[in-house]
Chains A and B, each alone.
Chain A
Amino acid sequence: MDPAASLTQPALWPLTAIVFLPALVAAVLSLPIVPRGRDEFIRWTTLLTTAVVFVLSVWMAWPQLFGAAGPAQFRLGEPGMQAVVKLPWIEAFGIEYLLGVDGISLPLVVLTTFLSMLAAAASWPITKHVKAYHVLFLLLETGMLGVFVSLDFFLFYVFWEVMLLPMYFLIGIWGGPRREYAAIKFFLYTLLGSVLMLLAILMLYFTSDLRQLSPEQLLASHVVSPALDAGVQADAVRSIKDARAPVHTFNLLALAQIGQLPDSPFAAARVWGMSLEKWAFLLLLVGFVIKVPVVPVHTWLPDAHVEAPTPISMILAGILLKLGGYGILRICYPVCPGAGLDFAWLVCGLGVVSMVYGAFAALAQKDFKRMVAYSSVSHMGYVMLGLGVWSAVAGQEYRWDAWAQGVNGAMFQMLAHGISSAGMFFMVGVLYDRVHHRNLEEFGGIFNRMPVYSGLAIAVFFAGLGLPGLCGFIGEVLVTLSSWNYSRVLAVASAFTVILTAAYILWAIQRVYLGAEYKGPHGDHLTPITPRELSIAAPLVFLAILFGVAPQILFNYVTPTVNRQVETLADWTKRVHDAPAAAPAVAKVGADSAAR
């Protein structure tokens, strides 16, 4: 591709700015020209940067707000990748700077920019090494956003790892008493997962062969940019088809296309008696579920969440956990559909186990923040169940709409949990800043002392509980309904978890906010909520209500993409998995495309 022409891609600068603006500001802030004493200036710069990035992401997601829609902005209702940016990076390996958003990633991008902005505002109480804190915070934001928009597996991995180090220091320097332990534990768990992911990436890369794809598929997966002239396109396609050696790729869309071929090389290759597809699925799954996290690899989460400072807990619970779910949805299932089908029981089972375990563990906690942390484990279980359930109906009655319901529910649950968990951590943080303890037993009577705060907090906790009319409800109910088709036991278990959730949240509300009088330490510090805190809490509560009342706002974005992915995979199941006997026609197509 002509590099001069590719710099004029409409989405290049908006998407690049969204991802790299925080890193750029971080680089400038870290220079010695910014004196270390000017904390206020650094705080405001960071807040302003995150706000600009948020506005940019809203500009992409909601063009109507800014007048006529440009080519770089999101067109609602189109299921495919939009605003694709494609630049060569490392040509020897075909690694590209390939970015794009669709209905799955865009809402998560906006969630990330939004929560980052709130977390930046929530960082005012940080007084230790302010400059270093904000530099790391901004780097973290770049990493998170990069993961959501990369479509190249190598690039994805780079961003995935870029998050680790800032997070390690953010927990380890600004955290609570056991911060060093929590930080290294977080790093170790995640690194283990990412090394496994790297192995899977390499396996997939060396097994992939772009020559197997048809010209249409090459265009659809942006291996050959559809923006090029027809003649250039044809040349590019021909050069791939005529290659003598296999043409490997890191392009996630192309890997998905290859994985869904009837003669998928991932399914054919075998390692130690199991197909490579299954190995890759399992390795990737381990990498992602560590992030989600799922029982039994969740033990880093309570430590990290509890020890991290409030804004970082908000980011951890609100965004980092979603990366796991996003990875499973974006990579595991489309690239390894056969393995996804075979391991549906595993994904669903893990989901339900974490759901129930997390809820019971939350019930047992005495530490307010730890209880919220375990509630995250429980809530993310719904995401796993919703994602896993959808490929499972194959062989029985064929209902792709039930699968789609599950995945849509999982996506909604991720977004809703992003709002409610960040809110819950913030509410805990507000209390902790005042009384410097989090012991549930020593609270009580907060409502009388801080009525506005308590009202908002109770609303957020109810959203976490899944009260109808608030955002937590929609995702849980959709997931539970869809799992009924797969396994009634799991459906009953997930419905039962709602009761446990209600129990621990209501009990916590009762112990903290209700009661006659606050008798714990530092009672005289219980001042009313400040305007700054209010400006963070209010938007979260507003969104929790808005998405509960009008879930359509999110579904408008999510559903087209999710439905199409599910439909494609349902079709794949029918075509390739369930009917190998009736495959001659399909096999012929496959052979044709291979011959071409």
Chain B
Amino acid sequence: MNPPLNLGTLLTDSITNTLDVSLPLFRPELCLAATIVLLLVCRMLPVLRHADSAVVALGGVGFGLWYAWCDLKSLPAGGDLLAGRQELFTGLLVYDSLTAYVRLVILGFLALYIVFTRVSGIPDREDGADFYALVLGASLGMCLMSAANHILMLFMAVEMASVPSYALAGLLKGRKASSEAALKYAVYGAGAAGIMLYGLSLMAGILGTCHLPSMAVELAKVAHVGSDGGGVMVLSLGGLMLAVGLAFKLSAVPFHFWCPDVFEGAAAEVGAFLSVASKAAAVALLLRVAFGLGVPAASLGVPAANGASAATLAALGDTRHFMVYVVALMAAVTCTLGNLAAYGQTNMKRLLAYSTVAHAGYLMMGVAAAIAMAGVTATGTRDAVTAVAFYLGTYVFMNLGAFAIVAVLRNSLRSEEISAYAGLVRTSPGIVVAMAAVLVSLIGLPPLAGFVSKFLVFSSLVEAIASGAERPLMLVLLVVGGLNTVISLFYYLRVLKVMTFDPPPADRALEPFPLVSVPGAVVTGLVLPVVGFGLFWSGLYAAAQLAGAFAS
């Protein structure tokens, strides 16, 4: 018998919980929100009108980063890793090691990103406040994506991340291509969101709850009792529709069509934001959904399994099986199509867009391995999530580096066509070496960070094979991943070929791009970690292992 409901106690409980538990763990997001307000206020006050919005944004992000770093550091390393898990705001959000890690990645990226955009000068003084408010707003949504524990929150977070992105895509106001990109993005996004919302409501309707761990318990009951015909069917349909929404955010095939167009139309700076931060958040959300729905809640430290027995919870195996197939299939197709489509590109941003698509495929391979090993081997699951988390960490530098170079070159060459880069090595060897490091890292060759990421993802696939989890499927993924690495060589290398082998165009009047300059320093600062994490990756791996702990 429940104690009689007392509005007063309920309210007090809720307030204490919010103040004592939720808000302290929500500090990074609060910093972002406060910075957005500050940015907008600065515009209105005549005294602060001339404040540099990049500095304001950087300051706010710095605070957030500091809190996120403290949160990650205070996670118990080793020992009981689930002890750090907390449900915030009555279960709408969840705080655990994955939240902490992904938040740190997003905020760390944001700090680098603000510095880079300030230097590359795409938001001019006029637009600065708008631009940074939009970027921070989208990032706030992305942080929430990584922490979503409730499908309402999930939808809100996705929308919050998407809507500012649509506006960002149209940032270059005078350019037709930019407006077209924004419109295309918005229309695609709205469609995908609609489908996802429909799927979510189907699932919530059948399962009777919106709280992900509780949904898992209900799902187990449905699966355990067996199909009553319609229920499972509707649930699968709902799941697939949810997958559509996630695939859109991940730019996974066949929901990737927006990606090259938007990247080509929008400024390189916006492409960098969409390809890194948005991807990190989407992958985290995919992990959230997959593990939220597919892993027995009891093992995630939720005590109330609503009376579901262990046998009932074991029935979630079928759910995972279904999810592995969806994710793995999408990963294989995404990776292959992304790499093949990148061949014919003549525009560097379009090429990087397809490269982003391909890398989403590699990331999803890691997610597939993680889901496959859930319930089979705990260390294996953890390793796979670690691999994905590590990949995200290095991807920040690889892709931000690539886009930064594109932006810097655009500023001096006035072009983003690959052919415009011809013979660049003659005049600016430094930038070509930086580009080589980034692209070779994207291919995945040692001793660069991209190799380690790929190595970890492949090793989690092999671990899944060795432990007998979804073996044939994982073997297929491994082969597909290996072949893709080889075919991706062509288009990345072609860029380097143009930069080094080809003679420079006769009509280029280009002052050599010195590496000893502010943009040069930014590029160097972004590229050095690509080499550093390729040689000494113990530290980043340890941090990623914390993220992996969420699944064990």
Contact = CB atoms under 8 A, between A and B. Distances in A.
Interface of A: 30, 32, 89-92, 132, 157-158, 161-162, 164-165, 168-169, 172-173, 179-180, 184, 187-188, 191-192, 195-196, 198-199, 202-203, 205-207, 245, 269, 271-272
B447 interface: yes
Contact of A271 (B433, B463, B475, B541): B475
B458 A198 contact: yes
A120 to B, nearest CB: 21
Given A90-B537, A206-B466, A199 B446 contact: no
Given A195-B485, A207-B466, A161 B497 contact: no
Given A161-B445, A162-B447, A202-B459, A92 B545 contact: yes
Interface in B405-450: 425, 429-430, 433, 436, 440, 445-447
A157 B459 CA distance: 14
13 contacts: A32-B515, A158-B447, A161-B451, A187-B489, A191-B485, A191-B486, A195-B482, A195-B483, A199-B458, A202-B459, A245-B379, A269-B466, A271-B475
Interface in B445-471: 445-447, 451, 455, 458-459, 462-463, 465-466
B545 A164 contact: no
- 5 tightest A-B CB contacts, nearest first: A202-B462, A158-B446, A206-B466, A195-B482, A161-B446
B545 A180 contact: no
Contacts of B490: 184, 188
A92 B542 contact: yes
B501 A172 contact: yes
A102 B88 CA distance: 60
Contacts of B430: 32
Contacts of A205: 459, 462
A191 B489 contact: yes
Central interface residue in A168, A180, A188, A191, by most chain B CB within 10 Å: A191
A89 B497 CA distance: 34
A199 B515 contact: no
Contacts of A161: 445-447, 451
Interface string B525-549: 0000000000001100110010000
Contact of A172 (B459, B500, B538): B500
B182 interface: no
Contacts of A207: 466
B478 interface: yes
A164 B444 CA distance: 12
Contact of B500 (A32, A169, A206): A169
A157 B429 CA distance: 28
Given A206-B459, A272-B475, 5 more contacts: A92-B545, A164-B445, A187-B489, A199-B478, A206-B462
Nearest to A160: B446
A38 to B, nearest CB: 16
A192 B486 contact: yes
Given A172-B500, A196-B482, A245-B379, A165 B445 contact: yes
Contacts of B516: 32
Contacts of B478: 199
Contacts of A202: 455, 458-459, 462
Nearest to A131: B429
Contacts of A192: 486
B440 A198 contact: no
A91 B446 contact: no
B23 interface: no
B493 interface: yes
Contacts of A180: 497, 501
Contacts of B485: 191, 195
Interface residues of B, number: 37
Interface string B30-69: 0000000000000000000000000000000000000000
A204 B542 CA distance: 24
A90 B541 contact: yes
Contacts of A188: 486, 489-490
B158 to A, nearest CB: 33
A283 to B, nearest CB: 10
B455 to A, nearest CB: 7
Contacts of B459: 202, 205-206
Nearest to A192: B486
B370 to A, nearest CB: 16
Nearest to B432: A132
Question: Which of A179, A195, A203 has the most B CB atoms < 10 Å from its CB?
Answer: A195
Contacts of A206: 459, 462-463, 465-466
Contacts of B486: 188, 191-192, 195
Nearest to B466: A206
A313 B32 CA distance: 58
Contacts of A90: 537-538, 541
Interface string B482-512: 1101100110010001001100000000000
Contacts of A132: 425, 429
B379 A172 contact: no
Nearest to B445: A161
Contacts of B465: 203, 206, 271
Contact of B493 (A168, A173, A195): A168
Contacts of B462: 199, 202-203, 205-206
A277 B285 CA distance: 39
A236 B325 CA distance: 43
The residue among A173, A187, A198 with the most chain B CB atoms within 10 A of its own CB is A198
Contact of B440 (A30, A165, A269): A165
B460 to A, nearest CB: 9
Nearest to B459: A202
A146 to B, nearest CB: 10
A179 B486 CA distance: 20
Contacts of A172: 497, 500-501
A92 B501 CA distance: 41
Contacts of A179: 501
Nearest to A164: B445
A199 B457 CA distance: 12
B444 to A, nearest CB: 9
Nearest to A196: B482
A356 to B, nearest CB: 30
Contacts of A162: 446-447
Contacts of B497: 172, 180, 184
Given A202-B462, A206-B459, A206-B466, A91 B493 contact: no
Contacts of B440: 165
B492 to A, nearest CB: 11
Contacts of A187: 489, 493
Nearest to B514: A32
B393 to A, nearest CB: 14
A92, A187, A203 interface centre (most CB from chain B within 10 Å): A92
Nearest to B483: A195
Most B-side CB within 10 Å, residue of A162, A192, A203, A206: A206
Nearest to B461: A202
A188 B491 CA distance: 12
Contacts of A245: 379
A206 B379 CA distance: 13
Nearest to B488: A191
Contacts of B501: 172-173, 179-180
A199 B466 contact: no
A529 B403 CA distance: 52
B405 to A, nearest CB: 18
Nearest to A203: B462
Contacts of A165: 436, 440, 445
Contacts of A269: 466
B260 to A, nearest CB: 24
Nearest to A179: B501
A22 B445 CA distance: 20
A207 B462 CA distance: 10
Nearest to A283: B482
Contacts of A92: 538, 541-542, 545
B500 A173 contact: yes
Contacts of B463: 206
